[in-house]
Amino acid sequence: MAAIQERWLPVWDELAPFRSGRPDDDRPTKYVLDMFPYPSGDLHMGHAEAYALGDVVARYWVQRGFNVMHPIGWDAFGLPAENAAIKRGEDPVRWTYENIAQQKSSMRRYACSFDWDRVFNTCDPEYYRWNQWFFLRMFERGLAYRKDSNVNWCPNCQTVLANEQVVGGLCERCDTAVTKKKLTQWYLRITDYADRLLDDMQQLEGAWPEKVLLMQKNWIGRSVGAEVQFAIEGRDEPVTVYTTRPDTLYGATFFVVAADSDLASELAAGTPAEAEFTAYLEKVKNESELDRLDASRAKTGVDLQLHAINPVNGERIPVWASDYVLADYGTGAIMAVPAHDQRDLDFALTFGLPVRVVVEAGEDPAVTGVATADDGPHVNSGPLDGLDKADAIDRIVDILRERGTGEPAVNYRLRDWLISRQRYWGTPIPIVHCPACGEVPVPDDELPVRLPPAEGLDLKPKGTSPLGGAVDWVHTDCPRCGGPALRDTDTMDTFVDSSWYYLRYADPQNDEEAFDPEKVRRWLPVDQYVGGVTHAILHLLYSRFFTKVLHDMGMLDFTEPFTRLLNQGMVVMDGSAMSKSRGNLVRLSDELAVHGVDAIRLTLVFAGPPEDDIDWADVSPAGSKKFLARAWRLSGDVTSAPGADPTTGDVELRKATHRAVHDSAVAVESLRFNVAIARAMELVNATRKAIDSGCGPADPAVREAVEAVAVMLSVVAPYTAEDMWSRLGHEPCVALAGWPDVDPALLVEESVICVVQVAGKVRDRIEVPPTISEDELRERALAAPGLVKALEGRGIRTVIVRAPKLVNVVPA
RNA sequence: GCCCCUUUAGCUCAUUGGUAGAGCGCUCCCUUGGUAAGGGCGAGGUACCGGGUCCGAUUCCCGGAAGGGGCUCCA
């Protein structure tokens, strides 16, 4: 096996069958993309699976005559390089590029069908320059902005995190409990695109996993309701609340503002409750995100001893501050309707506040402790009495609008994307802070703002950007007034890098612009994207956002970047994720050494549907190897010459061949690669039989079959296939041999077995032509001996005929 | 708590409103001049359980069980 690998690698290097940028290439195009890897160490089992799957698709479309762009690059910015620098004093640049070289050489041996002419790394200044360029365009459009806010803070990584990077209150990267910190940070206004991110999912219906679409939908969390203004006694400005249930306005018995909002501090100032509030706020600030997420914990709050006025009935209701209301959702203040909202009810019961039912829907919540959210006739609600929910909402919105105290509103769970990071190994934010001019963009012709060398910088996480230590780099002149100014010292979230890399592949060397729109038009959108489900929200949502922004800038003519998405499963061992600490790590390099590249690829692809997890304990690379050897041996048995006319060959074997070629193509196109391989295995078995005990090795049908096997295998086991192709007397590459044409005549069966049933039970089988008429079939079936016997002379009530496969006789 | 998916041979999975299949594994036989291998034969199924529709349900519908996944103070 090793010998075969060594034989063909140099040949493929020479012939470069997967180069997609030849100027005279007039094949139609396809774009197959694997999510690019992060260069931490060498490739592992997960990579091996993902790239084997992507390769099947890419190689298949090449066989079908397409010019396939199947690029690779490296997602090379990020914390591991920095951590290696901190722990072992390595230079992040060297560490990163060495790992890339290592992975690249492993990919070559793994025979990935990448177009090596298109490689780039996101840490190349030639690439991140365009991150900065896009940032500046967004800044000009008001889509990139800085604001002071309570942000997610990971005390371990010592950096801020985007909402998407907080999973269940923990840092996505290191599982540390996330806290809040008030900081001024850069954001991208993804919320402006919330509706389009939602609506455009229609384009992806059926082409992306249902699960991913659902997760994105939940994440965006569009909610429709109304904003209602409440006057506050002793304050000029009214306070607006957001509610999805304006119809329950008459049931509002108190009012709550988020304790950590500016509004709360403002309202508390000067009240007798101020001291109590300040103490409470201190406590709230120290809570971790994890604490806050525990919905079952007791409600807490402070009575601000103020009153809000219900705009519809003039009722005075008490104003409280609590941490169960979020400062950054809606307006940071709510009207509390305890009868019909569980959280409000819990709060009311804790503090002895009144509960008033306004929708008749079951038991009294004040007694049961369970708020009712169902529809029902409204009561205690003045003009809404008797109406159901939908009508009551319409009515109350009309009333509020008339009085100018409210209007319909939409809110999203999605927050703007926080992109500043207080870390070294990322794209510098191209902004200069000038004491006179404020935030000044670095002019385009001064891009890229290069990362200063790590040498001499303190990269240890300490809560402020390491770039601040690069004194010469930080101090600069203001591009606007020329006065002394300071560079922004934060770097961009690395998800910015991956939000547009798929566009750069179409034009990777361009140093005039991020990409030539013409080239992008030729290749994009991506026809098939392959990657892990871990990116269901983060990377995929951000990429969709970038695509829409660039579309609005006139740079793209499509609005969704990835036409079809495949989320491959994980490779696990004995039912759980592989890890060194668990002691169940299977090393890819070991497996490759024992079984060879082809057997490992085949094992991964054949293990099951690609989206399912693979338990390495359940699969058999040795079995894969055995199958490949069995297929390979066929190529030595063929005795007819290349070009032998198959039409004179054995018809039964030819049928098996054409059926297999047809079925496996259908399977590949619907991403059921394991099925495609099963079909190839069946053909290998049929061919073996034909050679040993059928038409014999000289029959041209045998050559046709074996050549078909070689081409089918070429998409998953390239070394074996290439060697077979060579033994069959052909020049390389089998990868470009072309998928065999299917003769439809050979797919038609000459006769089929028809089942003859009595009352649904099979009593006989008869062989009939597939084109048999219903009448003819009925007649023949009724004469079948098994049927006559089963009927035992009973009469017949009905005969159901489903030509040509079945006849069912219902006896009287 | 809410929502979604899955359940077919020992294992991993195909398939189908009408005969339930493949690979691996297993049994046995042949080969011993392809041999740390090769060829062949075979066993193995109440298609999770219970109801319904239908001439006929593993498939469609309803309910339940088991396993997996997602969301969860977002007003």
Q: Which pLDDT tens digit goes with each residue over A740-795?
A: 998 888 887 777 777 788 777 777 777 777 777 888 888 888 887 777 777 776 77
Say if residue A576's pLDDT is above 90: no
Mean pLDDT (whole number) for A68-78: 95
User: To the nearest whole number, what is the mean pLDDT of chain A?
Assistant: 88
A318 contact to strand B (CB, 7 A limit): no
* A677 vs A748 pLDDT, higher one: A677
Q: What is the pLDDT of residues A715-742, one digit of tens each?
A: 999 999 999 999 999 999 999 999 999 8
Mean pLDDT (whole number) for A7-22: 94
For residue A700, what is the DSSP state?
A: H
SS3 state of residue A305: strand
Question: Would you list the DSSP string of A702-722?
Answer: HHHHHHHHHHHHHTT-HHHHH
> Distance, angstroms, CA A619 to C1' B11?
8
> Distance, angstroms, CA A608 to C1' B22?
12
Global pTM value = 0.91
> Distance, angstroms, CA A592 to C1' B29?
35
A307 contact to strand B (CB, 7 A limit): no
Say if residue A2's pLDDT is above 70: no
A190-249 residues near strand B (Cβ < 7 Å): 210-211, 214-215, 218-219, 221, 223, 225, 241-245
Compute the distance between CA of residue A63 and CA of residue A322 in angstroms, rounded to an integer. Answer: 64
Mean pLDDT (whole number) for A448-452: 94
* Closest nucleotide to A692 by C1' from CA: B39
Of A780, A531, A736, the closest CA to residue A113 belongs to A736
Name the residue closest to the C1' of B10 by its CA.
A618
> Distance, angstroms, CA A52 to C1' B11?
23
- Contact of A665 with A704, CB cutoff 8 Å: no
A324 contact to strand B (CB, 7 A limit): yes
Compute the distance between CA of residue A378 and CA of residue A431 in angstroms, rounded to an integer. Answer: 56
A10-29 residues near strand B (Cβ < 7 Å): none
> Distance, angstroms, CA A211 to C1' B3?
11
* Closest nucleotide to A289 by C1' from CA: B73
Say if residue A126's pLDDT is above 90: yes
Name the residue closest to the C1' of B18 by its CA.
A806
Compute the distance between CA of residue A540 and CA of residue A500 in angstroms, rounded to an integer. Answer: 11
A684-723 residues near strand B (Cβ < 7 Å): 685, 688-689, 692
* Closest nucleotide to A299 by C1' from CA: B73
> Distance, angstroms, CA A615 to C1' B31?
36
Residues composing chain A? 812
> Distance, angstroms, CA A593 to C1' B34?
23
> Distance, angstroms, CA A664 to C1' B11?
24
> Distance, angstroms, CA A245 to C1' B66?
39
> Is the bond preceding A481 in cis, omega lying within 30 degrees of 0?
no
The CA angle A345-A347-A351, to the nearest 5 degrees, is 115
> Distance, angstroms, CA A210 to C1' B71?
15
A762 contact to strand B (CB, 7 A limit): yes
Q: Would you state the pLDDT for residue A250?
A: 93
A589-648 residues near strand B (Cβ < 7 Å): 606-609, 612-613, 615, 618-620, 622-623, 626-627, 629-630, 633
In chain A, the percentage of residues whose pLDDT exceeds 90 is 47
Nucleotides on chain B that have an atom closer than 7 A to a protein CB are 3-5, 11-15, 18-19, 21-25, 34, 37-40, 55-57, 69-75
> What is the distance of C-alpha A63 from the center of its chain?
28
User: Which residues have a Cβ under 8 Å from the Cβ of A352 and sit 6 or more positions away?
Assistant: none
Mean pLDDT (whole number) for A8-37: 94
SS3 state of residue A167: strand
Mean pLDDT (whole number) for A549-565: 95
Say if residue A239's pLDDT is above 70: yes
Q: What is the pLDDT of residues A624-658, one digit of tens each?
A: 888 898 899 889 888 888 988 999 888 888 888 88
Name the residue closest to the C1' of B13 by its CA.
A608
A798 contact to strand B (CB, 7 A limit): yes
* Closest nucleotide to A667 by C1' from CA: B14
Long-range contacts of the stretch A189-192 (C-beta < 8 A, 24+): A189/A138, A189/A142, A189/A143, A189/A144, A189/A145, A189/A416, A190/A414, A190/A416, A190/A417, A190/A541, A190/A542, A190/A545, A191/A412, A191/A414, A191/A415, A191/A416, A192/A143
Q: What is the pLDDT of residues A483-495, one digit of tens each?
A: 999 999 999 999 9
> Distance, angstroms, CA A225 to C1' B34?
77
Q: What is the pLDDT of residues A593-623, one digit of tens each?
A: 888 899 999 999 988 888 888 888 888 888 8
For residue A784, what is the DSSP state?
A: -
Q: Residue A489: how many CA atoms within 13 Å on its side-chain side?
A: 20
Quick one: CA dihedral A253, A259, A264, A265, positive or negative? Answer: positive
SS3 state of residue A532: strand
> Distance, angstroms, CA A430 to C1' B75?
39
Of A627, A747, A735, A731, the closest CA to residue A687 belongs to A627
A470-509 residues near strand B (Cβ < 7 Å): none
- Contact of A559 with A543, CB cutoff 8 Å: no
* Closest nucleotide to A533 by C1' from CA: B69
> Distance, angstroms, CA A637 to C1' B33?
18
A343-382 residues near strand B (Cβ < 7 Å): 343, 346
Across A57-75, b (16+ Cβ under 10 Å) vs e yields: bbbbbbbbebbbbbbbbbb
> Distance, angstroms, CA A691 to C1' B32?
22
Q: Would you state the pLDDT for residue A590?
A: 87
Q: Would you state the pLDDT for residue A482?
A: 92
* Closest nucleotide to A329 by C1' from CA: B74
Say if residue A187's pLDDT is above 70: yes
Which two three-digit tokens encode residue A198?
């939602």
Beta bridge partners of A148: A184
Of A5, A74, A6, the closest CA to residue A40 belongs to A74
> Distance, angstroms, CA A715 to C1' B23?
18
* Closest nucleotide to A633 by C1' from CA: B34
> Distance, angstroms, CA A204 to C1' B12?
30
> Distance, angstroms, CA A328 to C1' B29?
76
Complex confidence, ipTM:
0.86
Of A196, A82, A181, the closest CA to residue A418 belongs to A181
> Distance, angstroms, CA A759 to C1' B44?
28
- Contact of A702 with A690, CB cutoff 8 Å: yes
> Distance, angstroms, CA A750 to C1' B40?
28
Q: Would you state the pLDDT for residue A295?
A: 63
For residue A236, what is the DSSP state?
A: S
* Closest nucleotide to A754 by C1' from CA: B19
Which two three-digit tokens encode residue A581?
């600490």
* Closest nucleotide to A218 by C1' from CA: B71
A121-150 residues near strand B (Cβ < 7 Å): none
Q: Would you state the pLDDT for residue A1?
A: 61
> Distance, angstroms, CA A206 to C1' B18?
30
* Closest nucleotide to A682 by C1' from CA: B22
> Distance, angstroms, CA A766 to C1' B9?
28
Name the residue closest to the C1' of B19 by its CA.
A755
